[in-house]
Amino acid sequence: MMPGRMNSREVKRMMAQMGIKSTDLTDVKRVIMEGEGRNIIITEAGVTQIDARGETSFQVTGKVTIAQKSTEKNEEPVLNQEDITIIMEQAHVSRESAIDALKKANGEVAQAIVDLMEK
């Protein structure tokens, strides 16, 4: 049988025979990866957990947004409309709340969203 013509049931059966287990994590809606100078925010996330040979990995798909981090902690963060809109949409808050959270998070969009979601 040609690999391109296999259905998902056959693929899962073959993966199970090789000791590979995959699980869709349907409750995950957003993934945030924090880096040194930027954060990568993935919304409308589709996440699959893959367990193979004692190792766990994740496959993530969705809409990607890059948020640059402020380089100086003491300087006023640069606020742009796109960042504010992302925070408003993701945290379901007003423009003023999004701006306040972004300032408190030193311009880091992901941190502002997390802070607002924890309230």
75-106 per-position pLDDT tens digit: 666 688 889 999 999 999 999 999 999 989 88
**Residue 74: is its pLDDT beyond 60?**
no
For residues 74 and 107, the answer to whether their CB atoms sit within 8 Å is: no
Instruction: Please tell me the pTM assigned to this model.
Output: 0.52
Range of the domain at 88: 3-118
For residues 104 and 77, the answer to whether their CB atoms sit within 8 Å is: no
Q: Say how far apart CA 29 and CA 7 lie, in whole Å.
A: 27
Q: Say how far apart CA 38 and CA 41 lie, in whole Å.
A: 10
CATH code of the domain containing 55 = 2.20.70.30
Q: Number of folded domains in the chain?
A: 1
**What is each CA distance from 1 to 10, 19, 32, 99, in whole angstroms?**
11, 21, 39, 56
The neighbouring-strand residues paired with 48 are 24, 59
